[in-house]
Amino acid sequence: MAKAIVDTMDTRLLRTFATVARTENLTAAAERLHLVQSTVTAHVQALEKELDLRLFDRLPRGVVLTSAGREVLAQTEEVLEAESRLRAVAAAAGGADGRVTGRVTLSAGETLVSARLPGVIASLRRSHPGVEVDLRTMGTATAVTALRTGELDLALLLEDEAAFRDIECTPLAREPLVLVCSPEHPAAARSTTDWAELAREDYFLHEQGCSYSDRFIEQLLAAAKGTPPRITRFGSLEAARSCVTAGLGLSLLARANVTDALAAGRLTQVSGPQFPGVTVQLARHRRRWLSPAAAALTTELPHHFPH
């Protein structure tokens, strides 16, 4: 079987197969690969025909690997890793002057994409102009899947606890958090605010799956007496920040996302409970080789976070 996979060597088919295997959904795989669903289906069918194996059971809720498919997936990941190394070697050979070159695919949540990563990429271009960064916005679950399929080289996760059998997570920094409101909001005038008072306010928070927003909501609900707080969640930090700036409620955000608004007086910090920062984890697949370009990015990242 391994020889058949090596002989096939159409890594487009293999990458599609690995993505479908991890997402267990053709539509989700198509979105992840930036392909139409019919192309994803055609790739899977072509690989099944070439290997003369049924790789998936098609179920109403999605697709599930067959026993043969699980074996093929393990071999596929080795082939994709070998391809990654080969491309890195070729890129390094092209740089006769010893410069680090290559492309790195990195993901992070919107909190970090908007606040930290522009500075990282700008600095990396000065120190390693031959390194290109393909930046993608993903939450933790999506990023972990993409690391497993080889779609990502590295990911930044905002998680205090990050334990995965096949994904290595290294704490990089603590991202400070701040509870904010408009200067015209009644909460801005209070000298202090306790949890019971906070539970009576309206909130505009980042979407479900944002670790620090989820934790904050648990604390609010625990403090609520009777009517639970009214909470609106957005996929966009800018939408949440705009609602708070307009005086509609409060939000818990990374300080880096509101530094300019606080300095300009468009937002103010709410006096009350202190919120511990959230851990920034640098994640990569344990079994995959770290290319020179990815290593350069890994070295650059800590310089752009608070210590």
User: In CATH, what number is assigned to the domain containing residue 53?
Assistant: 1.10.10.10
Domain-located, residue 91: no
User: Does 151 lie in the same domain as 299?
Assistant: yes
Residue range(s) defining the domain that contains residue 111: 98-174+279-304
User: Does 226 lie in the same domain as 198?
Assistant: yes
Q: Quote the pTM value.
A: 0.73
Task: Specify the pLDDT at position 2.
Answer: 45
User: Does 233 lie in the same domain as 112?
Assistant: no
Task: Specify the pLDDT at position 94.
Answer: 53
Task: Specify the pLDDT at position 62.
Answer: 84
User: Does 132 lie in the same domain as 111?
Assistant: yes
User: Does 160 lie in the same domain as 286?
Assistant: yes
Domain-located, residue 232: yes
Angle of helix 26-33 relative to helix 37-51, nearest 10 degrees, comes to 110
Per the structure, the count of domains in the chain is 3
User: Does 166 lie in the same domain as 300?
Assistant: yes
Domain-located, residue 88: no
User: In CATH, what number is assigned to the domain containing residue 127?
Assistant: 3.40.190.10
User: Does 30 lie in the same domain as 10?
Assistant: yes
User: Does 164 lie in the same domain as 189?
Assistant: no
Residues of the chain with pLDDT below 50 are: 1-9, 96
User: Does 39 lie in the same domain as 170?
Assistant: no
Long-range contacts of 184-189 (CB under 8 A, 24+ apart): 184/247, 185/247, 185/249, 185/250, 187/250, 187/270, 188/268, 188/270
User: Does 264 lie in the same domain as 296?
Assistant: no
- Dihedral of CA atoms 141, 279, 210, 20 in degrees, nearest 10, equals -10
Domain-located, residue 169: yes
Domain-located, residue 93: no
What are the pLDDT digits (tens) for 69-122?
A: 999 988 888 888 787 777 666 665 555 456 888 889 999 988 899 889 999 999
User: Does 262 lie in the same domain as 297?
Assistant: no
Q: Do 220 and 300 touch, CB atoms closer than 8 A?
A: no
What are the pLDDT digits (tens) for 177-195?
A: 999 999 999 999 998 889 9
Q: Do 76 and 17 touch, CB atoms closer than 8 A?
A: yes
User: Does 217 lie in the same domain as 163?
Assistant: no
